[in-house]
Amino acid sequence: MICFGGSTCQTLAREVARRAGLVEGSMEVKDFPDGEMYVRVDTGVEGEDCVVIQSTSRPQGRNLFELLAVLETLKDLGAGKVSAVVPYYGYGRQDRRFMEGECITSKVIAEHVQLHCDEFYTVNVHKEAVMDFFRIPAHNLDAAAILGTYFKEMDLEDPIVVGPDMGAEEMAEKVGAILDCDWDCLEKKRLGPGQVEMKPKGVETAGKDIVIVDDIIDSGGTMLTALKTLKAKHASSVSIACIHPVLTGNIITRLYAAGARTVAATDTIPSQISEISVAPLIADALK
């Protein structure tokens, strides 16, 4: 199998190829001065199975088009089975019509990608329902264990894993199982008009090394509130990790300023905190 890394996933694709024993494909992707894209596949692909690894992260439209252009080129050049790996599925949060007339943008991506490939992989898509838009084999890989292993290697005295909301419950449970410790989620309690309290559902967090895990840090509002809540409840330390570092604004600085011990993420999107690699997960899936 020949592995091509799109412009969002160069390092990740190289590591996936190394781990899975794939041939590294070579291609040129550049933007013309007018903004249009040029794609040229340099490696011979006729009759060869190929995989393209490319996230549809910011700038989403450009990165999606690059993915489609490379997939289509491989098919056009006579490649065998073509797989797409989209480690971060941009638009994954719009999985249905929340208001009448809205575009289900995650469906638009699914419809277009599956026209140009035979199998699809992503990592912790925000809404599992998105996978139902695919009529080709489609896999949602789970990187929770990778986050767990990352924290296991840290020197945490008495850890507890916390999800910042109920949506992160399953992830908190999985990471807790790897760390062999308690886990919990924060829940919002309405105290009165305009007054909301956030607190762990059950476990005592005072004096503990807290690990907060979530799928996405975007504006970081969710993480910041969770961090401040747990600090106010006298956590000994608070370490933070997410799968997808979307990172809008200067949220990393703000999290450290609010007392985070560490803030880490995987490399589904390259960023200054993408120190945990999902390469083993993707490589295993492709083997």
Cα 199 to the center of its chain, rounded Å: 26
Q: Are 17 and 24 in contact (CB under 8 A)?
A: yes
Residue with tokens 């190394």: 18
| Contact residue for ligand R5P among 90, 92, 176, 220 (CB under 6 A) | 220
- 101 Rama sector, left if φ>0, alpha if ψ -120 to 50, beta otherwise: left
Q: Is 188 a catalytic residue?
A: yes
Tell me the C-alpha distance between 282 and 287, whole Å: 9
Q: Distance between the two ends of the chain, CA-based, in angstroms?
A: 9
| Contact residue for ligand R5P among 7, 60, 149, 219 (CB under 6 A) | 219
- Report the residue number, 2 or 123, with the smaller CB distance to ligand R5P: 123
| Contact residue for ligand R5P among 80, 221, 270, 280 (CB under 6 A) | 221
In angstroms, what is the minimal distance from the CB of 267 to ligand R5P? 18
Piece of the chain touching ligand R5P by CB under 6 A; list 35-43, 182-190, 220-228, 272-280: 220-228
Q: Interface with ligand R5P includes 182 (CB under 6 A)?
A: no
In angstroms, what is the minimal distance from the CB of 265 to ligand R5P? 12
Q: Are 62 and 70 in contact (CB under 8 A)?
A: no
By three-state DSSP, how is residue 217 classified? Answer: strand
| Contact residue for ligand R5P among 141, 161, 217, 269 (CB under 6 A) | 217
Binding track over 223-262 against ligand R5P, x by CB under 6 A: x---------------------------------------
Q: Interface with ligand R5P includes 216 (CB under 6 A)?
A: yes
Instruction: Out of 188, 189, 201, 287, pick the active-site residue.
Output: 188
Q: Interface with ligand R5P includes 80 (CB under 6 A)?
A: no
CA-derived radius of gyration, the chain: 20
- Report the residue number, 6 or 220, with the smaller CB distance to ligand R5P: 220
In angstroms, what is the minimal distance from the CB of 91 to ligand R5P? 13
Q: Interface with ligand R5P includes 214 (CB under 6 A)?
A: yes
CA angle, residues 24, 25, 29, in degrees to nearest 5: 130
Long-range own/partner contacts, residues 274-279 (CB < 8 A, 24 or more apart): 274/245, 276/146, 276/147, 276/150, 276/241, 277/12, 277/15, 277/146, 278/12, 278/87, 278/123, 278/141, 278/143, 278/146, 278/243, 279/12, 279/15, 279/16, 279/19
In angstroms, what is the minimal distance from the CB of 207 to ligand R5P? 26
Cis peptide before 87 (omega within 30 of 0): no
Piece of the chain touching ligand R5P by CB under 6 A; list 47-55, 65-73, 164-172, 191-199: 164-172
Binding site for ligand R5P (CB under 6 A): 164-165, 167-168, 214-223
Active site amino acids: 188
